[in-house]
Chain A
Amino acid sequence: MLFATPIILVAMDRLDTLEAQSIYILREAYAKFDQLGLLWSLGKDSNVMVWLAKKAFFGHIPFPLLFCDTGKKFPEMYEFQKKFTAEWDIKLIVEECPPIEEIDPTLPPASRSAARKTEALKRLIKKKNFQSVIAGIRRDEEGTRAKERVFSPRGTDAEWNFKQQPPEFWDQYKTDFPAGTHIRVHPILAWTELDIWRYIKREHIPVVPLYFSNKGKRYRSLGDHDITFPVSSSASNVDEIISELESTKIAERSGRAMDHESENAFERLRTDGYM
């Protein structure tokens, strides 16, 4: 042969880069922690995470998915869960959230309601002895999440000590920690809402239909039906959502009541162990 075939390098685009990084993080978590679970809230972000886990582990997710059931999710979400638990071959652990009466009454109402989830998660972590829980939070959602580490240590009561976050650089994550504490792993911290939808489009990832416009409204962020509100939108498919997001000025979590109850309501929730 006279000429060797030249290798043509196709540069990685933003989604390729994010995907590769998230897979790297998931594999790091799995390599380091035996007792590991992934929070599957059934929202778009956690579906993307499940998808990334399928990719990271070549179709076999080697740890359970966790679902903290408030009993107040939309019916469409429970249906979705049933369908894809089977289709994606998922090992699911469901933890019932404690009733509102068991939650700190000094919290503002929506926060108090959201804190049920934190409580369920704490109980689950204790029960199963989890060293690490993977959560699908993103920096662009909210200011305190923007300050997060990829591997974020939590105290014995799952609390976040944001004033003493460990240094984290060169993708060397915190994997040494005292017994009784745990690490929250955030594989999609660097993704934006737009990235999530572009990736959903590229990969054809299924999502709960509540994200699509129905009678002029759609949900941008899905939580409990009593503390999550739809936005006005005519976007009825993934492409339309993408073009809506390319120009919107409305914050993604504006429909989440607990974020806005006071200046630091959400920070308080998170300091106590909320995602």
Chain B
Amino acid sequence: MRARMLLNDFEPTVICKASKMAPTSGNNPSPSINLVIAGHVDHGKSTLIGRLLHDTNSLAEGKMAAVKAMSERRGMPLEYAFLLDALQAERDQGITIDTTQVLFNSEKRSYLIIDAPGHKEFLKNMISGAAQADAGVIVIDVEEGIQEQSRRHCYLLRLLGLKELIIVVNKMDLIEYSQRIFDHLKKHIIEYLSEIDLVCKAVVPISARDGQGLIDLSEKMPWYTGASFMDTLDQLPEANSTNHLPARLPVQDVYKFDDRRIIAGRIESGTLKIGDELLFTPSNKRAAIESFEAWNATSQKTKAIAGESVGIILNEEIFIERGHIASLSTDAPIETNVFRGKVFWIGNKPIIAGDRLKIKIGTAEHTSEVQSIENKIDLSSLEAIDADLLEKNDIGEVVFRTKSTVALDSFEKNHRIGRFVLIDEYETVGGGIVSMQGYADQRGLYDVTSKNIMAVSSRVDINAREAYNGHKGGIIWLTGLSGAGKSTIAMEAEHQLFSKGYQVNVLDGDNIRFGLSADLGFSPEDRTENIRRIGEVAKLFAEAGILVITAFISPYKQDRDRIRAIAGDIFHEVFIEADIEICENRDPKGLYVKARNGEISDFTGISAPYEKPRNPELIIDTGDQGIGESTTKLLSYIDEKFSI
């Protein structure tokens, strides 16, 4: 019966002109601005959008009648939010569950309006919508003021990359359009936004339900001197393209459907042209663009810009796979296996150190371990507070360590490649933006400054060496405070291993400092360089099939991490643990005394930091066991890992 009625609705067809429709720009309408409407639950986001669509005559015929019927059936006054809340459950509960998108044309341009749910339970849906936004509006109920989700949404939008927001103060009808109350709230809003480094583009008083201040200025608020909501939107700048950023093309796939080998992917930023030499990270292979391929194209493409999904043929057949990032060789992404992320956590279980998560960046997927939770943001005070875990809906800083080398950018430099998504088994549990603060690009370690050298590959392969030696080669990297027992354990282990037939060699502080690193002092830079040299030397030994044991304080985590990055699986970090008091009591070389007296500066543990390893392969606590026991522990580890 109803079906019949509705069929009659469109006979005869009435073609009516919309009053405030966008000028139809021929066949090439420009991309629209993606605008998210966010804010606390029930503050009137969906109503605002619904009313905007209604007042601009943007709705299809029959739509308002349907919404009227839905409202009446529920015994409520006309509910504009029902225009957006399409799910029965949403209307029954009067709450938005999932995000939705509608295209809307003002006189000036078109918008993709993203309605975000405000309820805490649905933050994951809010993010799903908000992550696409070029611009944002936060709706605040004038009676309720800034609430928890108003804060969280503002903070998240800032984290997602927005620099400015429009604030709408809604339900002005409830306070009889009082300027005094509005001004008071406005002050608070501006303060809060500036604290999180957001520019407040405008604070617009409206009544969404009654259509006041939306399209035109409201007669009920003659005191308001700003622009109406829609005029405020129309003043937003166009969305930025990413053409000016360094070129990044994450490889999506390599196709061989016919005799062409096509590298497929979308240019996330920058531009590419035929002849450009591409560097693929992390494989570090290079080749130049020979052509852009396309099906049914009218002309041969010679260049491509950000946002295009391209197919490239290279001038050389190098090994490339999904996940690699192509860039110009002059401006490549960072290579690292450790980075810091500002994370929003939406998993049901909290995230803690030691968690194993899949990380997606661009088209790459990496297995990673949570090295540490650094802090959590308190959204009221905006302070970063110490935390061991992030619970659902928390925001905080987390350090990740990946198994293999990852190509990425810091979010600041290139937001398209500087962001990641976290997966736990089947579920998306969080996302974040990359900060490299405190961590070095490891690319320098592979890159060679001098150009005219060639790696020579040995004709003796590693398996042959291992078979000959009867064990694998590798690096046992001892780290710990002076006096913790590194040298003693190293020498004792070397002795015992040698008598068991091991090819073994100890690199110790003093023999290196007198020779290889005689030119270096103890400043942080010199220490870093010292450790780099030792790492390279240790790697050469290890590659020759020898088991190398190093005994250096190596206080900086990032220096040790770099060696892990150069050496890979053959690197075994062993933490020789002993409290500073114990070491100071032992003081075999009398150095602690001198350091305390100020005779030695930059002394680790006293006047220079020691950064404990977070996930070493082995921990040997020498505080409460003798050298014999400690050595035995090391030897059984070596036995397990290095025997063949």
Cα A264 to Cα B74 in complex, Å, equals 14
Q: Do A267 and B88 form a contact, CB below 8 Å, given A57-B257, A110-B3, A254-B6? A: yes
Task: Indicate whether A130 reaches chain B with its CB closer than 8 angstroms.
Answer: no
Chain A, residues 12-36, CB within 8 Å of chain B (1/0): the string is 1111110111011001101100000
Chain A, residues 243-262, CB within 8 Å of chain B (1/0): the string is 01011111100110100111
Contacts beyond the supplied A27-B264, A56-B264, A176-B425: 15 A-B pairs with Cβ under 8 Å: A7-B303, A14-B29, A14-B30, A21-B309, A24-B266, A139-B102, A140-B102, A162-B87, A190-B112, A198-B27, A232-B10, A232-B12, A233-B13, A255-B7, A263-B70
What are some 30 contacts across the A-B interface (CB < 8 A)? Answer: A7-B271, A11-B305, A13-B29, A13-B31, A15-B27, A30-B253, A31-B253, A56-B309, A58-B262, A60-B257, A139-B102, A140-B102, A143-B84, A143-B86, A143-B87, A147-B100, A165-B98, A167-B124, A167-B125, A168-B128, A169-B127, A170-B421, A170-B431, A244-B15, A251-B62, A254-B7, A260-B2, A261-B2, A261-B3, A267-B88
Partner of A147 from B10, B86, B426 at Cβ < 8 Å: B86
Instruction: Please determine whether B311 and A58 come into contact, CB atoms closer than 8 angstroms.
Output: yes
Task: Indicate whether A166 reaches chain B with its CB closer than 8 angstroms.
Answer: yes
Q: Do A169 and B6 form a contact, CB below 8 Å, given A9-B305, A58-B257, A176-B426? A: no
User: Which of B174-182, B184-192, B290-298 lies at the interface?
Assistant: B290-298
Q: Do A201 and B62 form a contact, CB below 8 Å, given A31-B322, A166-B428, A260-B3? A: no
Task: Indicate whether A156 reaches chain B with its CB closer than 8 angstroms.
Answer: no
Partner of B421 from A11, A172, A251, A254 at Cβ < 8 Å: A172
Instruction: Please determine whether A247 and B271 come into contact, CB atoms closer than 8 angstroms.
Output: no
Partner of B7 from A140, A229, A246 at Cβ < 8 Å: A229
Interface residues of B in 234-290 (CB under 8 A from A): 241, 243, 252-253, 255, 257-258, 260, 262, 264, 266, 271, 273
Sorted from nearest, which 9 A-B pairs have the closest CB atoms?
A143-B86, A169-B131, A251-B60, A232-B13, A60-B257, A23-B309, A167-B124, A172-B421, A13-B28
Instruction: Please determine whether B86 and A249 come into contact, CB atoms closer than 8 angstroms.
Output: no
Task: Indicate whether B423 reaches chain A with its CB closer than 8 angstroms.
Answer: yes
Residue numbers in A under 8 Å from B479 (CB-CB) = none
Task: Indicate whether A85 reaches chain B with its CB closer than 8 angstroms.
Answer: no
Cα A31 to Cα B264 in complex, Å, equals 11
Cα A254 to Cα B61 in complex, Å, equals 9
Instruction: Please determine whether B296 and A247 come into contact, CB atoms closer than 8 angstroms.
Output: no
Q: Do A163 and B97 form a contact, CB below 8 Å, given A17-B307, A20-B309, A254-B9? A: yes
Centre residue among B29, B88, B112, B309 by max chain A CB count within 10 A: B309
Task: Indicate whether B346 reaches chain A with its CB closer than 8 angstroms.
Answer: yes
Min CB–CB distance A199 → chain B (angstroms): 10
Instruction: Please determine whether A146 and B29 come into contact, CB atoms closer than 8 angstroms.
Output: no
Interface residues of A in 157-214 (CB under 8 A from B): 162-163, 165-170, 172, 174, 176-178, 190, 192, 198, 201-203
Interface residues of B in 1-57 (CB under 8 A from A): 2-3, 6-7, 9-18, 21, 24, 27-32
Instruction: Please determine whether B101 and A146 come into contact, CB atoms closer than 8 angstroms.
Output: yes
Residue numbers in B under 8 Å from A112 (CB-CB) = none
Instruction: Please determine whether B18 and A249 come into contact, CB atoms closer than 8 angstroms.
Output: yes
Task: Indicate whether B327 reaches chain A with its CB closer than 8 angstroms.
Answer: no
Cα A260 to Cα B311 in complex, Å, equals 44
Instruction: Please determine whether B9 and A15 come into contact, CB atoms closer than 8 angstroms.
Output: no
Task: Indicate whether B99 reaches chain A with its CB closer than 8 angstroms.
Answer: yes
Cα A152 to Cα B322 in complex, Å, equals 23
Cα A61 to Cα B128 in complex, Å, equals 30
Q: Do A167 and B273 form a contact, CB below 8 Å, given A244-B15, A257-B7? A: no
Specify the chain A residue showing the minimal Cβ separation from B5: A260
Residue numbers in B under 8 Å from A12 (CB-CB) = 31, 305, 307-308
Cα A261 to Cα B264 in complex, Å, equals 45
Min CB–CB distance A180 → chain B (angstroms): 12
Cα A142 to Cα B431 in complex, Å, equals 30
Min CB–CB distance A188 → chain B (angstroms): 13
Partner of A174 from B257, B273, B428 at Cβ < 8 Å: B428
Interface residues of B in 111-125 (CB under 8 A from A): 112, 124-125
Instruction: Please determine whether A162 and B127 come into contact, CB atoms closer than 8 angstroms.
Output: no
Partner of A263 from B16, B84, B88, B102 at Cβ < 8 Å: B88
Task: Indicate whether B73 reaches chain A with its CB closer than 8 angstroms.
Answer: yes
Residue numbers in B under 8 Å from A21 (CB-CB) = 309
Instruction: Please determine whether A55 and B421 come into contact, CB atoms closer than 8 angstroms.
Output: no
Residue numbers in B under 8 Å from A17 (CB-CB) = 31, 307
Residue numbers in A under 8 Å from B62 (CB-CB) = 251, 254
Interface residues of B in 56-103 (CB under 8 A from A): 59-63, 69-70, 73, 84, 86-89, 97-103
